[in-house]
C-alpha cells in the first residue's frame, strides 16, 4: 500500500509558486520527508524562484514548508551514494547556485519557520532577508555529527548574517537553539506562537509591499553589496536601472534603429 502513496506524491509538484495580491508564496512540498532537499526539489525550487522573480506585481516572497517541518536540510539518502566528484559538483555547487538564486531575488523574502530548520534548512532560511519562527522551532547546523560540514553557505552566508561565534556554537559545538534563543542571537527576526507563523509573515509582507517597490529593490541591492552577498552584478544592475530611467537609453536605441547620431540630453 506504500507504493500508490509514493506514486501519488511523485505526481504532485515538489515546490509550488502561488500569488496572493502583492505576496508571492513559494512552498516546499515534501512533508513525508520534512521537506528534506534532494536534486529534484532543488530543481523545482530554482524554477519557482524564477517564476517569483518574473511575476508582475509581486513585491514580497514568502518561503514556506508544507507539513510539520520547514526543511530538514539535505536528504542524506540523496547524496550518501555519490562519488566525491559528484558530491562536490552536483550536490554542493548546484545547491549553492539555487540558494544564491534565493538570496539574490529582487523582492524581499521572508522564511516562514513553522517547523524545524536544521542543516541545509537553516542555510535555506539564511538566504532569505527575514525569518519568522514559531515558538516550538529548533535551529542548528548538525552536519559534523555525521562527519560532513555545512555545504550550502552555512559557514559563509550564515557567518555574515548571524556572526561567527553563533555559527561556531551550532557547527562546532553542536548547539541547537530554540526559537526564543535564536531571536536573542539574531538568527530569526520574530517569534510567534505555534500555528501563527504564516499569518505573521503575511502581515509583515503586506507592510513591506506598501513601500516604494523600486526603492525597496534598490535598498536590498545596496545592502547586499555592503554585506558582500553581491558586488559586480548588483552595482551594474543599480547603474543600469538608473540609466534606463533617463532619456539616454531611448535616445541611444532610437539612434541605433535609425542609424543616426544619438541626441543625448542631461536628463
Closest CA to 161 of 256, 249, 207, 227: 227
Q: Is 9 contained in some domain?
A: no
pLDDT higher than threshold 90 for residue 112? yes
Q: What is the mean pLDDT of residues 36-64?
A: 96
Q: What is the CATH number of the domain that holds 24?
A: 3.90.226.10
Q: Is 114 contained in some domain?
A: yes
Pair 204, 189 in one domain = yes
pLDDT at 5: 38
Model-level pTM greater than 0.85? yes
- 154 φ, ψ to 5°? -70, -20
Pair 19, 86 in one domain = yes
Last residue of a domain, one of 210, 229, 244: 210
Q: Confidence band (pLDDT; 50, 70, 90) for 91?
A: confident
Pair 169, 137 in one domain = yes
Strand duo 15-20 + 109-113: pairing = unpaired
Pair 199, 238 in one domain = no
Between the CA atoms of 122, 222, 46 and 170, what dihedral angle is there, to the nearest 10 degrees?
A: -10
Q: Is 198 contained in some domain?
A: yes
Query: How many domains does the structure of the chain reveal?
Result: 2
Pair 60, 135 in one domain = yes
pLDDT at 25: 98
Q: What is the mean pLDDT of residues 178-195?
A: 98
Pair 126, 254 in one domain = no
Between the CA atoms of 96, 100, 103 and 104, what dihedral angle is there, to the nearest 10 degrees?
A: 180
Pair 58, 88 in one domain = yes
Residues with a known catalytic role = 123, 143
Q: Is 150 contained in some domain?
A: yes
**216-237 CB burial, b ≥16 within 10 A, e <16:** bbbebbeebbeeebbeeebeeb
pLDDT higher than threshold 70 for residue 163? yes
Q: Is 2 contained in some domain?
A: no
Q: Is 74 contained in some domain?
A: yes
* Dihedral sign (CA 175, 120, 70, 198): positive
Q: What is the mean pLDDT of residues 85-107?
A: 88
Set of cell numbers at residue 22: 502583492
Q: Is 47 contained in some domain?
A: yes
CB 45 within 8 Å of CB 53:
no
Q: Is 1 contained in some domain?
A: no
Pair 38, 65 in one domain = yes
Q: What is the mean pLDDT of residues 86-110?
A: 90
The domain of 218 spans 213-258
Pair 204, 218 in one domain = no
pLDDT at 3: 36
Query: Of 1-5, 64-68, 153-157, 237-241, which gets the smallest average pLDDT?
Result: 1-5
Rounded to a whole number of angstroms, the CA Rg of the chain reads 21
Measured CA to CA in angstroms, residue 108 lies from 81, 129, 183 at distances of 36, 6, 20
- 62 φ, ψ to 5°? -95, 140
Q: What is the mean pLDDT of the chain?
A: 90
Pair 239, 169 in one domain = no
Query: Of 77-81, 155-159, 169-173, which gets the smallest average pLDDT?
Result: 77-81
Pair 196, 218 in one domain = no
Amino acid at each position: 500500500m506504500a507504493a500508490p502513496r509514493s506514486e501519488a506524491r511523485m505526481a504532485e509538484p515538489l515546490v509550488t509558486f502561488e500569488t496572493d495580491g502583492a505576496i508571492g508564496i513559494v512552498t516546499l512540498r515534501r512533508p513525508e520527508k520534512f521537506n528534506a532537499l534532494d536534486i529534484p526539489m532543488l530543481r523545482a525550487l530554482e524554477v519557482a524562484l524564477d517564476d517569483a522573480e518574473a511575476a508582475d506585481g509581486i513585491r514580497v516572497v514568502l518561503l514556506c514548508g508544507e507539513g510539520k517541518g520547514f526543511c530538514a536540510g539535505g536528504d542524506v539518502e540523496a547524496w550518501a551514494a555519490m562519488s566525491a566528484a559528484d558530491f562536490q559538483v552536483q550536490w554542493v555547487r548546484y545547491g549553492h547556485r539555487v540558494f544564491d538564486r534565493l538570496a539574490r531575488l529582487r523582492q524581499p523574502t521572508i522564511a516562514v519557520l513553522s517547523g524545524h530548520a536544521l542543516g541545509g534548512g537553516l542555510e535555506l532560511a539564511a538566504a532569505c532577508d527575514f525569518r519568522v519562527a514559531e515558538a516550538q522551532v529548533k535551529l542548528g547546523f548538525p552536519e559534523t555529527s555525521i562527519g560532513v560540514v555545512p555545504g550550502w553557505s552555512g559557514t559563509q552566508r550564515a557567518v555574515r548574517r548571524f556572526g561567527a561565534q553563533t555559527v561556531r556554537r551550532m557547527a562546532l559545538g553542536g548547539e541547537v537553539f530554540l526559537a526564543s534563543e535564536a531571536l536573542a542571537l539574531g538568527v530569526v527576526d520574530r517569534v510567534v506562537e505555534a500555528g501563527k507563523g504564516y499569518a505573521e509573515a503575511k502581515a509583515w509582507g503586506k507592510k513591506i509591499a506598501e513601500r516604494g517597490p523600486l526603492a525597496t529593490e534598490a535598498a536590498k541591492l545596496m545592502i547586499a553589496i555592503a554585506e558582500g552577498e553581491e558586488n559586480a552584478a548588483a552595482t551594474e544592475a543599480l547603474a543600469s536601472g538608473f540609466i534606463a530611467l533617463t532619456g539616454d537609453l531611448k535616445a541611444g536605441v532610437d539612434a541605433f534603429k535609425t542609424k543616426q547620431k544619438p541626441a543625448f540630453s542631461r536628463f
